Copies of this chain bind each other. A is one copy, B any other.
Amino acid sequence: MDLNIDRNAGTPVIRQLVTHLGEWIHAQHIRPGARMPSIRSLARENGVSLSCVIKAYDQMVASGVLESRHGSGFFVAQQAARAAEPDTDPGDGRWSLFDNASTQLKLGCGWLPDAWRDDTDLGQAIRQVVRSDNHALFNYSSPLGSPHLRLQLQKRLGLIDIHVDPAQIITTQGASQGLDLLVRTLLKPGDLVLVESPGYYNLFNLLKLQGVRTVAVPRTAQGPDIARLEQLLGEHKPSYFFINSMYQNPTGTSLAPSVAYRLLQLATAHDFRLIEDDIYADFQNGPTSRLASLDALDRVIYLASFSKTLSSSLRIGYVVAQPDIIRRLADVKMITGIGCSLLAENVVATLLANGAYRKLIQRLRQRLNKQMASTLRHLDPAHWEVFAEPMGGMFVWAMPRYLTAQRVQQIARQLQIQLSLGSTFLPQGEACDWLRLNVAHTQDHRAQVFFQRVEQESIVAGQ
């Protein structure tokens, strides 16, 4: 059985084996109890090592798709066909990026490829907490979150000139829950807030869910468009402005110092607060302007997470604010979910304390920088418009000059590439020819072919 394993794909071989074997069981309606191909034959026919096949089979046993019978091989488990089935998408396509069974190249997704992941440090930290911190393995965390983690966060925040007390830090299940707690605690239906356009699509979803009205401020290469903001502040009285200061999602742009300063002035003059979502903070490459560092958390509420760097699976983020706001957030956090995983919190604390996290983000920055440069080289200015060359991070916001979004989408589909279309990042979801590209995924050979085809067709279309 040839499974079309692709050694140049971003996806590790073992994962490709698991996915393709699962699809094969499902597509062929292989009955429960059927014997799987031998390890030896599968390895030979796909040109992979025996140990890769063994690991793939082990994983499929662990996940209930296969059963191992001592001495006689691997067999399809009861209901295995179901386990291999891809998830239905509850949001009419809205969550298709989160379909883990998909083998498409997610060229615009918001995370790093599996091939970039090294489980050495994270695995070791997990084993250490499991071994030495039995309490964390079994028990609820406290309302503000693990004191050990918050102490480490306090130190880390000090390094980027955000000087706070641990009582000003609350852990959250990723920055997503941080945003949700802020919206639930500080806003009520009908309230009006400012958002960036283009901006983070799930923030738009969240505000809509809570009945909060939004006014969009255009994003420029230097941050929010200050002239437009001043005009909007003449017409509206927003209570909050949600912003990504650094490596903004989706444009990859960062706040210029003068824009940051002017934003804080306007916040004071017009009495609104800034919610600074800094989840790309740890990709930082050089000097930057952070609202929370400038204003010392007077009018700024700061949030960040470990989902983009360390692991999205741990679900650990945090919010930093005045103690009275933190207390209110903690109360809502407990009422609505009784806190974070103490195990996950202490795993992150361990990696912060032993220096492994610092080394991880150094490696990621270097690798992302290299990929950013290589991606920008693919985006020939003759054929692509790039919104602004990002100074770091994962995202480039780009648009083919001569092809429509529909045509680009067709090319991508033929190559098994899933794009992240610009309209997703507009508060009202209007049509848009821009694309969010994640530079960490442009190494994949499908991305290379995609850029070539766009260029070839652009040459024809541009003539």
Residue A119 is within 8 A (CB to CB) of chain B in the complex: yes
Q: A82-B151, A338-B202 are in contact. Are A119 and B130 (CB under 8 A)?
A: yes
Q: Is A138 a contact partner of B117 (Cβ separation < 8 A)?
A: yes
Residue A167 is within 8 A (CB to CB) of chain B in the complex: yes
Residue A142 is within 8 A (CB to CB) of chain B in the complex: yes
Q: A62-B129, A62-B133, A114-B135 are in contact. Are A176 and B336 (CB under 8 A)?
A: yes
Residue A32 is within 8 A (CB to CB) of chain B in the complex: no
Q: Is B98 a contact partner of A143 (Cβ separation < 8 A)?
A: yes
Query: Which of B58, B98, B180, B312 sits near A142, CB closer than 8 Å?
Result: B98
Contacts of A114 in B (CB 8 A): 134-135, 138-139
A341 to B306, CA, bound (A): 13
Contact pattern, A 169-188, Cβ under 8 Å of B = 1, otherwise 0: 00001101100100010000
A385 to B381, CA, bound (A): 82
Number of copies: 2
Q: A90-B330, A138-B311, A139-B312 are in contact. Are A128 and B174 (CB under 8 A)?
A: no
A114 to B346, CA, bound (A): 17
Q: Is B173 a contact partner of A337 (Cβ separation < 8 A)?
A: yes
Contacts of A328 in B (CB 8 A): 90
> How many whole Å from A318's CB to the nearest CB in chain B?
14
Residue A256 is within 8 A (CB to CB) of chain B in the complex: no
Q: Is B151 a contact partner of A83 (Cβ separation < 8 A)?
A: yes
Contact pattern, A 78-102, Cβ under 8 Å of B = 1, otherwise 0: 0100111101111100110011110
Residue A152 is within 8 A (CB to CB) of chain B in the complex: yes
Query: Which of B14, B94, B101, B143 sits near A331, CB closer than 8 Å?
Result: B94
Residue A144 is within 8 A (CB to CB) of chain B in the complex: yes
Residue A361 is within 8 A (CB to CB) of chain B in the complex: no
Q: Is B135 a contact partner of A91 (Cβ separation < 8 A)?
A: no
Q: Is B144 a contact partner of A313 (Cβ separation < 8 A)?
A: no
Residue A48 is within 8 A (CB to CB) of chain B in the complex: no
Minimum CB distance partner of A63 in chain B = B148
> How many whole Å from A153's CB to the nearest CB in chain B?
11
Minimum CB distance partner of A310 in chain B = B138
Minimum CB distance partner of A328 in chain B = B90
Residue A314 is within 8 A (CB to CB) of chain B in the complex: yes
Q: A123-B130, A152-B64, A349-B64 are in contact. Are A137 and B313 (CB under 8 A)?
A: yes
Residue A379 is within 8 A (CB to CB) of chain B in the complex: no
Minimum CB distance partner of A22 in chain B = B147
Q: Is A140 a contact partner of B312 (Cβ separation < 8 A)?
A: yes
Residue A344 is within 8 A (CB to CB) of chain B in the complex: yes
A151 to B119, CA, bound (A): 26
Contacts of A346 in B (CB 8 A): 62-63
A335 to B307, CA, bound (A): 16
Contacts of A144 in B (CB 8 A): 87-88, 90
> How many whole Å from A52's CB to the nearest CB in chain B?
12
A174 to B91, CA, bound (A): 22
Residue A12 is within 8 A (CB to CB) of chain B in the complex: yes
Contacts of A227 in B (CB 8 A): none
Q: Is B142 a contact partner of A131 (Cβ separation < 8 A)?
A: no
Query: Which of A128, A167, A330, A336 counts the most B-chain CB atoms under 10 A from its CB?
Result: A336
> How many whole Å from A18's CB to the nearest CB in chain B?
8
Contacts of A344 in B (CB 8 A): 313, 341, 344
Q: Is B62 a contact partner of A143 (Cβ separation < 8 A)?
A: no
Which residues, 110 to 159 on A, are CB-close (under 8 Å) to B? 111-112, 114, 117, 119, 122-123, 126-144, 147-148, 151-152, 154-155
Q: Is A313 a contact partner of B139 (Cβ separation < 8 A)?
A: yes
Sample of 15 A–B contacts (CB below 8 Å) = A62-B350, A87-B144, A88-B327, A90-B326, A90-B328, A101-B147, A114-B138, A122-B137, A123-B131, A141-B313, A176-B338, A180-B336, A180-B337, A209-B336, A314-B341
Told that A90-B331, A209-B332 touch, could you supply 17 new A-B pairs with CB distance under 8 A?
A: A15-B134, A62-B353, A64-B152, A82-B151, A85-B147, A85-B166, A87-B144, A90-B328, A98-B141, A100-B135, A111-B140, A114-B138, A123-B137, A126-B130, A138-B313, A140-B312, A314-B341
> Which 10 A/B pairs are nearest by Cβ-Cβ distance?
A90-B330, A90-B327, A63-B148, A180-B336, A205-B335, A313-B343, A140-B312, A177-B337, A87-B142, A176-B338
